[in-house]
Structure 1
Amino acid sequence: MTKKRGFEIVKKFKDAGLDLPQRETANAAGYDIKAAADITIPADGSIKLVSTGLKAYMQADEVLYLINRSSGPYKRGLVLPNSVGVIDADYYNNEKNEGEIFVQMRSISGQDVQIKKGDRIVQAIFIPFLIADDDQAAGVRTGGFGSTGDK
């Protein structure tokens, strides 16, 4: 059977004791993504990339959205400054970083926020997408995080 969609641990975190994401309830749409290592998100408003140690595989017409957990802004003062992270199918196993998922985080609490390894930081939702008539996209990903915007 061909794998359709899921998560894997990247090589550099193979022996780090990370868990693959899971949904907490039968009707939940999102998979809880956890931090792969301790990190401090500073109060100065700067954006930090939080490593997850994970990569995601999916079908060519699917995308993985990274979305704030409801407790992130309210309880911890953490937000995704890009609102929604977008992981494209061709990000998987890219040569720059093996497709490791990083989460942009910013503190809006006015205080430094400590994230510990294993803390749930975002939820991830697989979604199919449509393309417009006469779409001619033929480019090939050559980089890792943020690479499609570097043209």
Structure 2
Amino acid sequence: MKRGFEIVSKYKHQDLTLPYRSTKHAAGYDFEAAEDFVLPSIWKTNFLKVLWQLHHNQSVSETDLINGSRDLKPFLVPTGIKAYMQDDEYLLMANRSSNPLKRNLILPNGVGIIDADYYNNDANEGEIFVQLINMGLKDLTIKKGERIGQGIFMPYLQADGEDERAIKRTGGFGSSGR
């Protein structure tokens, strides 16, 4: 088996759909939400207060700036899916083109990278989450089975004299950072 998808054990009996291509020539595999999930609107948080203060040239405390920025954090929507692939591949997670237009949803970093060694890691079995921010005016409920992102398998190249600092993955989401 070269590459594909499996359901993580937590969702084994939850009737999830493996990612699929919606058209014959689609590059991306559509990922669905594993459960109902409420994405809060950024406009209902401290972010709005800070934005108003800045717009009206009022002083803003360092604490308010930090808290206002934290309110822009993405939420991790579970898919219940893990992906296996070759060692020289990764899964590029991207937003669906309809998310910003129809639902005001964005991926905060534009894309997500799922490394081959994320599969079956000890921390979370390699479950893929889609990071989303709700730019809409109201909270948005994503229903189980709604398409929330897409994944594209991609090869990658390594540089000459590869870095000796690379270590074996020991954690789950975000664990390769230092």
Instruction: Please give the range of the TM-score, normalised by the shorter of the 2 chains.
Output: over 0.9
Greater fraction of residues in helix: 2
AA matched with 1:5: R
Greater fraction of residues in strand: 1
2 CA distance for matches of 1:99 and 1:123?
Answer: 17
Match of residue 18 from structure 1: 16
> What are the residue-to-residue correspondences of 1:54-65 with 2, within 5 Å?
54-65=81-92
Match of residue 64 from structure 2: none
2 CA distance for matches of 1:132 and 1:110?
Answer: 45
- State the identity %: 59
Judge conservation of contact 1:62–1:126 (CA < 8 Å) in 2. Answer: yes
Name which of 125, 146, 162 aligns with 1:119.
Answer: 146
Match of residue 89 from structure 1: 116
SS of structure 1 residue aligned to 2:171: coil
Based on CA coordinates, which of the two structures has the bigger radius of gyration? 2
SS of structure 2 residue aligned to 1:12: helix
Match of residue 125 from structure 2: 98
Match of residue 168 from structure 2: 140
Deviations, residues 78-117 of structure 1 (Å, cap 9, x unaligned): 1111210100000000000000001111011222111000
**Cα root mean square deviation, aligned:** 0.9
AA matched with 1:117: K
Alignment length (residue pairs): 148
Deviations, residues 119-145 of structure 1 (Å, cap 9, x unaligned): 000010000000111113441000000
SS of structure 2 residue aligned to 1:16: coil
Unaligned segments of structure 2, at least 5 residues: 43-71
TM-score, normalised with respect to structure 2: 0.81
Q: Which runs of 4+ in 1 moved over 4 A?
A: none
Match of residue 134 from structure 2: 107
SS of structure 1 residue aligned to 2:176: helix
Q: CA deviation at 1:24?
A: 1.0
Judge conservation of contact 1:6–1:56 (CA < 8 Å) in 2. Answer: yes
Judge conservation of contact 1:41–1:47 (CA < 8 Å) in 2. Answer: no
2 CA distance for matches of 1:103 and 1:69?
Answer: 11
Per mean C-alpha deviation after superposition, the further-off stretch among 96-105 and 133-142 is 133-142
